[in-house]
Structure 1
Amino acid sequence: MTVYRSAPPPGDPGESTARLPPVQRRRRIRRRRVLAGGIGLTVLLLLATVILVSVYTDAGFSPDGTTPASSANGKVPAGVRDGGPVIDLTGGGEPRTYGMPARTIALTFDDGPDPQWTPKILDVLAKHRTPATFFVVGSQVARHPGIAQRIAREGHELGGHTFTHPDLAELPEWRREMENSQTQLAIANATGRSTSLMRPPYSSFADALTDKDWQTVQAVGAQGYLTVLDTMDSEDWKRPGAGAIVRNLTPKDTAGHIALLHDAGGDRSQTVAALDRLIPQLRKRGYRFSTVSAAIGGPVNPPAADDAVWRGRALVWTVGVADAVLAVLWALLITAGGLIVIRTLILFLFAWRHSRHRRDPDWSWGLPVTAPVTIVVPAFNEEKTIGPAVRSLARSAHPGVEVLVVDDGSTDGTAEVVRRLGLGNVRVVRIPNGGKANALNAGVALSRNDLIVMVDADTVVEPDAVHRLVQPLADPAVGAVAGNVKVANRRGLIGKWQHIEYVIGFNLDRRLYDTFGCIPTIPGALGAFRRTALTESGGLSTGTLAEDTDLTIAIHRAGWRVVYEESAKAWTEAPATARQLWRQRYRWSYGTMQAMWKHRGAVRDRGPSGRFGRRGLLFIALFSVLLPLLAPLVDLMAVYGLLFLDREITVIGWLTMLVVQVLTAVLAFRLDREPLRPLWSLPLQQIVYRQVMYLVLLHSAVAAVTGRRLKWQTIDRTGDLSSAPVPGR
């Protein structure tokens, strides 16, 4: 598709900018570019930040006791190894330890609060009127503040168990400080209280402390916390059965103990059942139950400072937003996957049937169309490509072909190249530069025939392409026909990727759209029209940048059928560099959105206009805008999964999507009778090219939302039509 420059059309939002002095106009355009780019960059940064927050707060962990530790303990003081389970280093002097009074049990629960199991454990404790201490994970408190409130309200104690449950011994000092302080803030937000207790994840008995563990205990003490270990491990993380848990927590003597259990981290039904049996049994043996702080004579969750409560609210809000955004991303990923699967199934079903139907020996549009045709070729600075294009058109096999080249104010030798061809059925008219739509309208007005074919100046056609293209016009209900456009310069990687895109994304989709009677775009590179259809639809509009899509929708709304003729083939020069590709697709995406917005009223119309509005616009919105915007989520979440989730499942999921794309590509290439060799680059296209197209679409959407005026831009031509069957070359 040829891209032009032009002044903004009358009434266009860019008109006021065009009338400004050059310096002011450049400043305003620069400001709008900065705004659009800034908004896009801000969105990406916020998204990255949210994902990082979600990764941080949702870090998976294994239950306490499952992480092996080293055995070196030479730096651990003997008094600590042989002392009680509560270690006090808050004074900065010699460590002090505390044990439980005789026949006193402190039930402690790690890793919660959990929305399923913590309430059940609280119900058992309430049933037996038994206090307990819950060492909570801060991120879980942020997500389930109501459960933390219930813990405090029912007389239990809350202690810290870090914010994300990491191994503190492996963290730098700043991260250890953050883990504990954020947990404190989460507790303050949920309950209005603070805690002086902290249990490091993966800790055990005092005599099992290693040198690394001791460094952690020292760091925790320096932050003002008491380190709480345990003396009896239920080993409920092994799920050994309720009976085994009860036996593990039954003292062998009359000493006091701190019992370790879990209220999160997996199925805790055995813990709940064991607890309901354990409490009555120990009470019969004369044991009493207490929180840790009450047993050692300390305050139980004193009130938190006001600033801690407010900072806790900000923290919880951040976690909530991050969780919500990540949930939306997963929902969008599922939506994207669903759209890909639905589109693939529909394509396989309807595109294959469409192709077989058209290739049936008995298939015919009607009596052969032999009426004369005017081929309108708009051209702006197309000196490098206009010669082969016009030569291929003039030598078309269709009888009575007239080629009308509309030179849209070119500043190079475009018109002279055409004149030097010396072809009798070719005319050249020169008009002031006014844009592609204006040039096409001028060509239609100057044409001598009722059948009009529009071809871009960088496109060559096969000898029988024009004749095949106009055959569907034998049906009086057909007002326009889309041709089969192929990439001519496909030798480089960018060319191969565009070739794949044209075959799959354009030509295969047109078969689908043709089946449903809602082809959204007749390509500017090759399309046929009845003059009556052009007149009734109002001709080509200068109000949008995708004049071909705008015109096609208008023809649908006027009540005409638009069909696809796959046997009419044209070869066009695609952008040869990434910059040129970006500029072209940016204009296409922006123009498509303009056309959709312009014709949005069709959704409420009756008759042909309403049918297209409710069907065609839906297809365009789903498969031309929404799906391309969402498709990169497959790759984004794949990276997320590789880094933070199950890698095997992530790889299988991504490869499944790739297989779907490969199958679709094979179908498209077989239907178009193209060799499969270029498909070796398809995986790389999915990784690189798809992201570029996503950024183009995102940039276009931001520009549309911010009201930025996108001007026509020239695309540099190389004249490379290496794959095209150019007559006489």
Structure 2
Amino acid sequence: MSALGRIGAGLAITVAVAAVGRMVNSAWVMRKVAPPPAEPLAEPVAVAAIIPARDEQATIGRGVAALRAQRHPNLRIIVVDDSSADRTAELVAVQAAQDERVTLVRGEDPPPGWSGKVAAMAAGAHAAGEPEWLLFMDADGVAGPGLIGRLLAAAEATGADLVSSPGAMRPSAGASLLMPAAVVAMFEVVPPNRNTKRVLAIGQCLLLRRSAYERIGGWAALATSTTDDVDLATRVRDTGGRVLIVDATAELAAQGHDGFGQLWRSLRKSFVVGSDGNVPLLAAGAVVSLVFGLTPPLATLTGLARRNPKIAVAGLIGWAAQGYGHLLFARFFHQPAATALLAPLSWAALGSVLAASLGQVLRGTATWRGRSVTR
């Protein structure tokens, strides 16, 4: 075998070993996500659902309607229009006229030093009064009728102060190619239901005990945060509270990430924010993800073409391990199992998104909804 062949074989074997390790870790991590109780909480405790919305006319109507259909009897719905330039406020106003539980709050541009979303959530919490629970939801979330009751039951059963869940995604090219590797990588950095340096919560759905909200100092204590969900969970833990990640995907869906381009831009922003614009970290992540994703299929094809079983087997093992990790994601987020065959492309896509995030940081153009996402 030539020197180049030995390097290729070594890389294929290294990636295969890493893929198996990553697969085992993913299986272990995913099992840490708690199932929600089968029955909702029977007590009609007061809940205020708060949705910060900026230019969300495509999703806000369905999201508010889904909350209005909740079985939980003691519910207010507060939508904070965060200076939208589209029909977001108009669509919410229509539902507010139909249902006295719905309140539209006209937000303003955030005060100096405040993140826009955090300022909107603070305005919603202020308008809510003093319910026992605050439910912060993204504008693209669609809640099943039993969501709030089951989240409350999970909190009651475990004593949690903050209960959070991701939303299921409808099958799409973006969900199949962009999300699997991104979620695996996120769970590796901030694993669910683990007492690590930073604590995981998912901004799609955050049910927070009002007493815990007051104990942490409200959103004012996180005014500058651009990773508000993780920062919130970490502060709840640091002030003596308990955080629980549950799998409520049977009762919660995300409707805003169906388009490939929209999901790409959302992830690009998330990686800029999550890395705090760290150039070496983004560059290393891009290279490692691209190599990790592309090596198994290239090694498999090269090994078969050159009749080199060592390289081919290493490539197949790496591909299979990546595929099983992808399958865990597909089951969790209600995606087709067949998309597991695309696992190497998912990791390559993650590398591409990280590279795009790096480009935004270097150019100083990292924005979301017309606002800068860097501190």
Normalising TM by the smaller chain, what interval?
0.7 to 0.9
CA–CA separation in structure 2 for the residues paired with 1:452 and 1:411? 27
Correspondence for 1:444 among 109, 125, 146: 125
TM-score, normalization by structure 2: 0.77
Alpha-carbon displacement from aligned partner over 1:565-586 (angstroms, at most 9, x marks no partner): 2136311124344433332111
Q: Which residue of 2 aligns with 1:389?
A: 63
Residue 341 (structure 1) shift: 2.7
Tell me the secondary structure at the aligned position of residue 354 of structure 2: helix
Q: Which residue of 2 aligns with 1:431?
A: 107
Paired residues of 2:161 and 2:243 also in contact (CA < 8 A): yes
The reply on whether 1:691 has 2:327 as its aligned counterpart is no
Residue 643 (structure 1) shift: 5.4
Q: Which residue of 2 aligns with 1:420?
A: 94
Correspondence for 1:649 among 303, 310, 326: 310
AA at the equivalent of 2:216: S
AA at the equivalent of 2:291: L
Tell me the secondary structure at the aligned position of residue 429 of structure 1: strand
CA–CA separation in structure 1 for the residues paired with 2:359 and 2:58? 34
Q: Which residue of 2 aligns with 1:463?
A: 145
CA–CA separation in structure 1 for the residues paired with 2:107 and 2:46? 25
In structure 2, the CA distance between the partners of 1:647 and 1:430, relative to structure 1 (3 Å rule), is farther
Alpha-carbon displacement from aligned partner over 1:478-531 (angstroms, at most 9, x marks no partner): 22111241114x3x42344357568x6499x59x93453458442222121123
In structure 2, the CA distance between the partners of 1:559 and 1:419, relative to structure 1 (3 Å rule), is same
In structure 2, the CA distance between the partners of 1:590 and 1:469, relative to structure 1 (3 Å rule), is same
AA at the equivalent of 1:710: A
Alpha-carbon displacement from aligned partner over 1:529-557 (angstroms, at most 9, x marks no partner): 12333344344434343322332233333
Paired residues of 1:460 and 1:571 also in contact (CA < 8 A): yes
AA at the equivalent of 1:438: A
In structure 2, the CA distance between the partners of 1:369 and 1:567, relative to structure 1 (3 Å rule), is farther
Alpha-carbon displacement from aligned partner over 1:238-275 (angstroms, at most 9, x marks no partner): xxxxxxxxxxxxxxxxxxxxxxxxxxxxxxxxxxxxxx
Correspondence for 2:244 among 563, 575, 579: 563
Residue 426 (structure 1) shift: 0.5
Residue 460 (structure 1) shift: 1.0
Paired residues of 1:374 and 1:452 also in contact (CA < 8 A): yes
Residue 654 (structure 1) shift: 2.3
CA–CA separation in structure 1 for the residues paired with 2:293 and 2:277? 29
CA–CA separation in structure 1 for the residues paired with 2:55 and 2:302? 50
Alpha-carbon displacement from aligned partner over 1:32-54 (angstroms, at most 9, x marks no partner): xxxxxxxxxxxxxxxxxxxxxxx
Within 5 Å, which residues of 2 pair with 1:180-329? none
Paired residues of 1:465 and 1:570 also in contact (CA < 8 A): yes
CA–CA separation in structure 2 for the residues paired with 1:553 and 1:587? 21
Residue 701 (structure 1) shift: 4.6
CA–CA separation in structure 2 for the residues paired with 1:679 and 1:563? 27
CA–CA separation in structure 1 for the residues paired with 2:10 and 2:46? 56
In structure 2, the CA distance between the partners of 1:594 and 1:381, relative to structure 1 (3 Å rule), is same
CA–CA separation in structure 2 for the residues paired with 1:544 and 1:524? 13
Q: Which residue of 2 aligns with 1:497?
A: 177
In structure 2, the CA distance between the partners of 1:629 and 1:399, relative to structure 1 (3 Å rule), is farther
Q: Which residue of 2 aligns with 1:482?
A: 164
Q: Which residue of 1 aligns with 2:288?
A: 630
Residue 406 (structure 1) shift: 0.3
Paired residues of 1:487 and 1:573 also in contact (CA < 8 A): yes
Within 5 Å, which residues of 2 pair with 1:77-92? none
CA–CA separation in structure 2 for the residues paired with 1:573 and 1:700? 23
Q: Which residue of 2 aligns with 1:183?
A: none
Residue 455 (structure 1) shift: 1.1
Alpha-carbon displacement from aligned partner over 1:629-674 (angstroms, at most 9, x marks no partner): 624323444437855987433332222122223333444555x494
Which range is displaced more, 559-568 or 479-488? Answer: 559-568
Q: Which residue of 1 aligns with 2:273?
A: 591
CA–CA separation in structure 2 for the residues paired with 1:596 and 1:477? 36
In structure 2, the CA distance between the partners of 1:441 and 1:407, relative to structure 1 (3 Å rule), is same
Correspondence for 2:227 among 525, 546, 550: 546
Tell me the secondary structure at the aligned position of residue 566 of structure 1: coil
Q: Which residue of 1 aligns with 2:191?
A: 513
Within 5 Å, which residues of 2 pair with 1:31-50? none
CA–CA separation in structure 1 for the residues paired with 2:315 and 2:246? 35
CA–CA separation in structure 2 for the residues paired with 1:625 and 1:537? 35
Paired residues of 1:482 and 1:564 also in contact (CA < 8 A): yes
Correspondence for 2:339 among 643, 657, 681: 681
Residue 395 (structure 1) shift: 1.7
Alpha-carbon displacement from aligned partner over 1:411-458 (angstroms, at most 9, x marks no partner): 222122122121121000101133212111111122121310011112
Unaligned runs of 5+ in 1: 1-54, 62-325, 598-620, 716-729
Residue 393 (structure 1) shift: 0.6
In structure 2, the CA distance between the partners of 1:500 and 1:353, relative to structure 1 (3 Å rule), is closer
Tell me the secondary structure at the aligned position of residue 389 of structure 1: helix
CA–CA separation in structure 1 for the residues paired with 2:29 and 2:224? 34
Tell me the secondary structure at the aligned position of residue 594 of structure 1: coil
Residue 59 (structure 1) shift: 4.7
In structure 2, the CA distance between the partners of 1:570 and 1:476, relative to structure 1 (3 Å rule), is closer
AA at the equivalent of 2:67: L
Tell me the secondary structure at the aligned position of residue 271 of structure 2: helix
The reply on whether 1:700 has 2:357 as its aligned counterpart is yes
Residue 353 (structure 1) shift: 7.2
Within 5 Å, which residues of 2 pair with 1:139-154? none
AA at the equivalent of 1:382: E
* Higher normalized contact order (CA 8 Å, seq sep 6+, divided by chain length): 2
In structure 2, the CA distance between the partners of 1:471 and 1:461, relative to structure 1 (3 Å rule), is same
Residue 398 (structure 1) shift: 1.3
In structure 2, the CA distance between the partners of 1:596 and 1:634, relative to structure 1 (3 Å rule), is closer
Aligned length: 354
Q: Which residue of 2 aligns with 1:267?
A: none
Paired residues of 2:57 and 2:88 also in contact (CA < 8 A): yes
Q: Percent identity?
A: 19
Q: Which residue of 1 aligns with 2:73?
A: 399
Q: Which residue of 2 aligns with 1:664?
A: 325
AA at the equivalent of 2:125: V
Residue 702 (structure 1) shift: 6.2
In structure 2, the CA distance between the partners of 1:420 and 1:635, relative to structure 1 (3 Å rule), is closer
In structure 2, the CA distance between the partners of 1:517 and 1:477, relative to structure 1 (3 Å rule), is farther
Within 5 Å, which residues of 2 pair with 1:117-132? none
Q: Which residue of 2 aligns with 1:375?
A: 49
Q: Which residue of 2 aligns with 1:711?
A: 367
Paired residues of 1:517 and 1:562 also in contact (CA < 8 A): no
